[in-house]
Structure 1
Amino acid sequence: MNLPDWQQIDTVLLDMDGTLLDLHFDNYFWLDHLPGVYASHHGLSEEEALSELNKSFIGLRGTLDWYCLDYWTELTGLPIAELKRDVQDRIGFRPHVQDFLQRLQSMGKRRVIVTNAHRDSVNLKIQRTGLDQLVDRIISSHDYREPKESQAFWDHLQRDEGFDPERTLLIDDSQAVLESASRWGIRYLLTIFHPDSKKAPSRDSQFPGIDHFDELDW
């Protein structure tokens, strides 16, 4: 995997879930754990519960509510942030992440996590992994009230961080987010083909990508 000369990059923007952390935790929570608890709480079968939840998902993807734990708590009548703690043992780094972040630090690159995750999720994952100690800053899209899929998110981020889009790399497993960043003007874009360790990689992307960070050239 060949990237531009690292000397051309000052800032590395990093997604969290599916990029630095294994997406298995999130997929398991939303597709297995939550439907089970929802079914028990509302007297439904798990299939009926998942069907009901799926109806709520329609039209929300890519909006801030899609990522908002407060919204899902109100919608389901369940304490979503607390339920996430029940399965927090599934939270973990993707392969070679710590080495990659330390290498960026040694090269003097600014490392900023930009995530759509709600702050309650961010805090849980920090407690579990110590991820905040490996980067310069963690920004949630909820801080700006705009998801990363929105052009307004990047406007907020640029005013806040002052990065040069011509000298910035974004690494993200979301094609919609990469497309948004590309339209906004971030020059260097890289995707992750294998965000969930329990699922097969998917290379259906218009962007260059890697399975794991040890594939990068330095």
Structure 2
Amino acid sequence: MINWDKIETVMLDLDGTLLDLHFDNYFWQEYLPECWGQRHDMDIDSAKAALIPRFKSMEGTLAWYCLDYWSDELDLDVFGLKQDVEHLIKTRPYTVELLCKLNEMGKEIILVTNAQEKILDVKLEKTGIKKYFDFIISAHELGSPKEHSKFWELLSNTVQFSQEKTLFIDDNLTVLQTAQDYGIRYLLSIARPDSHLPERSPTDYFPIKDFREIFTD
């Protein structure tokens, strides 16, 4: 599938790529609405009806990924609530095997994520995968989300990499499009970011079901 002789750098997303997106989906779609609804004497369906449009209005912005922003907006300790369900943080199948294999091959591995630093630290600690990365870059550190071209410009000023020799894997199709527009040559998507949901329909970016696929001929 991949001609590894042409790849020097592998950039990897975190949530929905290396980690099961179920943690985040459950938190934002179920647990947070439940907690917010209890505070406002609302059932969960009413709370969802009130919150989901607010969430969607911020998608693709840095604020959408900012726990502090939502804590202020909702008058809740969002980070604390995330810690309540941190037992749901899990790697996707063969994530560790992927990272070990890339290390063995001598590839530079860069984690590029929209996750805010404090929840990023929790996820890396919980899964034990921090040690595999050469660089860990949060969009909050750069001040722009991966959905924006500015992120990629800022990233190139932070770490050195060749766009022509970089493989990028992400579950977010908008992010992949932006990376392609920037010039990242090799792009792959994820077929099933959330283990509790069915596989997604095929996309323009080859959706991998299992990380072992990328090491086959």
For residue 37 of structure 2, what is the aligned residue in structure 1? 39
For residue 88 of structure 1, what is the aligned residue in structure 2? 86
1:200 and 2:195 are equivalent in the alignment: no
Deviation at 1:21, TM superposition (A): 0.4
For residues 26 and 62 of structure 2, what CA distance do their matches in structure 1 show?
Answer: 21
Which one of 42, 56, 59 corresponds to residue 58 of structure 1? 56
For residue 100 of structure 2, what is the aligned residue in structure 1? 102
Unaligned runs of 5+ residues in structure 2 are none
For residues 101 and 217 of structure 1, what CA distance do their matches in structure 2 show?
Answer: 12
Indicate if the aligned counterparts of 1:64 and 1:147 stay in contact, CA closer than 8 A: yes
For residue 214 of structure 1, what is the aligned residue in structure 2? 212
For residues 90 and 56 of structure 2, what CA distance do their matches in structure 1 show?
Answer: 29
Indicate if the aligned counterparts of 1:194 and 1:212 stay in contact, CA closer than 8 A: no
Stretch moving more, 105-114 or 200-209: 200-209
Indicate if the aligned counterparts of 1:23 and 1:197 stay in contact, CA closer than 8 A: yes
User: What amino acid maps onto 1:59 in structure 2?
Assistant: S
* TM-score, scaled to structure 2: 0.97
Aligned residues: 216
Q: CA RMSD in A?
A: 1.0
For residues 209 and 143 of structure 1, what CA distance do their matches in structure 2 show?
Answer: 28
* TM-score, scaled to structure 1: 0.96
| Mapping for residues 1-12 of structure 1, pairs under 5 Å | 2-3=1-2, 5-12=3-10
Unaligned runs of 5+ residues in structure 1 are none
Deviation at 1:57, TM superposition (A): 1.8
For residue 122 of structure 2, what is the aligned residue in structure 1? 124
Match of 1:181, SS? helix
Match of 2:215, SS? coil
For residue 148 of structure 1, what is the aligned residue in structure 2? 146
Stretch moving more, 111-120 or 208-217: 208-217
For residues 40 and 118 of structure 2, what CA distance do their matches in structure 1 show?
Answer: 25
**Runs of 4+ displaced beyond 4 Å:** none
For residue 165 of structure 1, what is the aligned residue in structure 2? 163
Deviation at 1:204, TM superposition (A): 3.3
For residues 40 and 136 of structure 2, what CA distance do their matches in structure 1 show?
Answer: 36
For residues 211 and 15 of structure 1, what CA distance do their matches in structure 2 show?
Answer: 15
Deviation at 1:203, TM superposition (A): 2.8
For residues 184 and 51 of structure 1, what CA distance do their matches in structure 2 show?
Answer: 37
For residues 67 and 52 of structure 2, what CA distance do their matches in structure 1 show?
Answer: 16
For residues 133 and 215 of structure 2, what CA distance do their matches in structure 1 show?
Answer: 20
User: What amino acid maps onto 2:68 in structure 1?
Assistant: D
For residues 58 and 10 of structure 1, what CA distance do their matches in structure 2 show?
Answer: 36
Superimposed CA distance per residue, residues 99-151 of structure 1 (whole angstroms, 9 cap, x where no aligned partner): 11010001110111100111121011012111211222211100011000100
